[in-house]
Amino acid sequence: MARYLLLVQLLCLAASVHANGVLILGDSISAAYGIEKSSGWVALMDRQLKERCPDFPVINASVSGETTAGGKARLPTLLARHKPGLVVVELGGNDGLRGLSPMVMASNLKQMISLSRQAEADVVLLGMRNPPNYGQQYTALFERQYRDVAQSTSVPWVPFFLEGVIEQGWMQGDGIHPTIEAQPLLLETALSVIEPQLPSRCRSHISTETE
């Protein structure tokens, strides 16, 4: 009987090891560049999850200026340290701004998805679009990578994370980073793919309302 109870405890422990919250792997948009970090979309989601699902924390590992190559390099350590149940990849915008290869970007995204799944974490992808600085052909090729990656790996995704933000004029003076007014909309967009991947006990409690 004691051995049976020990086995049950070990199985429960193993099941919980790979469900320790949401890891956000993003760039300046998720790092709340130019605004108070407590007002960013990740912080808004964190507060709501703490109220409704405190045993499933939000880990914001976003870094301003991060590329897909940088995210791929950092991810193994983050997975080992935090053991998330869900990884949200919001990267690629800086690859586009720097004119880096869209195909290399796609390869990096696929490797991040593979690494996450090997660590038994689910993955969602928040896509971006690129300004037309490098010409129409590059812009189209860049945008297509997110669709191809999402379809080939079967991950839930958002084609354009800033959808509606630019139209509302909710951009900072640099024309790149969203303002504080945009954060609830970013949260709503992110939750459209994040919420269905949350543990069942955490679903249907998340809203886009802020205090």
Alpha-carbon distances, residue 19 vs 8, 91, 123, 132 (angstroms): 17, 23, 13, 40
Q: Can you give the three-state secondary structure of 114-132, one letter per residue?
A: HHHHHCCCEEEEECCCCCH
Catalytic-role residue among 39, 101, 174, 207: 174
SS3 135: coil
Catalytic residue status for 28: yes
**Nearest of 119, 43, 52, 44 to residue 79 by alpha carbon:** 119
Is 55 known to be catalytic?
no
**2, burial (CB in 10 Å: exposed 0-12, middle 13-18, buried 19+):** exposed
Which of the residues 46, 122, 177, 205 is marked catalytic? 177
Catalytic residue chosen out of the listed positions 27, 28, 95, 116: 28
What's the rounded Cα separation, in Å, for the pair 142 and 144?
6
Catalytic residue check, 174: yes
Q: Which tokens sit at 181?
A: 């007014």
Active site residues: 28, 174, 177
